[in-house]
Amino acid sequence: MFGLPERTPDGHHHGGPGNQPSPGQHRAGPTRGRGADVSGTRFEVGESFVGEGVNAAHINTVFGDRDGPAGTAWATALGSPSTGHVPFVAVLRPSLPVKPLTLFVSKAAPESDGHGVHIWGPAQAGVAGGVADAVADGVVPPDRVDSHVILAAVWVNAGADDAEAVYRNNRKATFEALRNGANQLPLIQDVLAARDSVSNPFYTPGSSPT
């Protein structure tokens, strides 16, 4: 069981999305929730949605020990491709995989050559860059880059039409998802506060014709 992010004496939380620097910006030290010892059977789950329209990015991440369930899931997914869904190791450049080794799992099967290019090109580059940003900023401890792995479930819209936006959004979303997982976000107070105003980019209750 993970603890909540640390509180300051005035009751504010360290590590929340509102007071974090952007990827690549200097941070005084690693930002991780109290008790977030990701070893053995423990793992962190994070989520982030960045951008609007067809070039938005929706990332889910799992960060955990190679010797635990995260490692088992990582190896199983890599060895179990299916039609349209072929997990692969994200690279910064050919033959230079990002660390921790990150398995890119596409949520959407390629619907066209262009869609596939956006998945393998800018989305993959964004995920790899976001992981590297998380290590550089201390969200992912540097001493765990070889003992732990990351699974990144990535959604790229079939209608994506701006490779640079896809890259930027996926890089930021990957960083934020890992940071959120490290800090056990969202807080349960925020979850309960939103339960009567559920909404996502594709549907808001009560907005559709009856």
Which domain does 56 fall in, by range? 43-181
Whole-number pLDDT of residue 201: 86
Q: What is the mean pLDDT of residues 74-96?
A: 95
Quick check: is 58 catalytic? yes
- Indicate if the pLDDT at residue 40 is higher than 90: no
Whole-number pLDDT of residue 31: 54
Cis peptide, bond prior to residue 100, ω within 30 of zero: yes
Beta pairing, strands 96-97 & 91-93: antiparallel
Q: Does 109 reside within a domain? A: yes
Q: Does 91 reside within a domain? A: yes
Q: What one-letter code names the amino acid at 182?
A: A
Q: Place 19 in a pLDDT band, splitting at 50, 70 and 90.
A: very low
Q: Does 80 reside within a domain? A: yes
Q: Does 13 reside within a domain? A: no
Q: Place 12 in a pLDDT band, splitting at 50, 70 and 90.
A: very low
pLDDT tens, residue by residue, 51-68: 999 999 999 999 999 999
Q: Does 12 reside within a domain? A: no
Q: Which residues is 91 bridged to in the sheet?
A: 97
Q: Place 110 in a pLDDT band, splitting at 50, 70 and 90.
A: very high
Q: What is the mean pLDDT of residues 87-98?
A: 98
Q: How many distinct structural domains can be found in the chain?
A: 1
Q: Does 161 reside within a domain? A: yes
Q: Place 210 in a pLDDT band, splitting at 50, 70 and 90.
A: low
Whole-number pLDDT of residue 209: 67
Determine the Cα–Cα distance for residues 103 and 90; give it in Å rounded to an integer: 6
Q: Does 142 reside within a domain? A: yes
Query: How large a percentage of the chain has pLDDT more than 90?
Result: 75
Write the CATH number for 49. Answer: 3.30.230.60
Q: Does 11 reside within a domain? A: no
Measured between alpha carbons, how far is residue 182 from residues 19, 114, 115, 139, 175 in Å?
A: 15, 34, 31, 7, 11
Whole-number pLDDT of residue 42: 84
Comparison of pLDDT for 39 and 162, the residue scoring more: 162
Distance from chain centroid for Cα 52: 17
Q: Place 25 in a pLDDT band, splitting at 50, 70 and 90.
A: very low
Query: How large a percentage of the chain has pLDDT more than 70?
Result: 80
Q: What is the mean pLDDT of residues 119-127?
A: 98
- Indicate if the pLDDT at residue 18 is higher than 90: no
Catalytic residue among 58, 115, 118, 148: 58
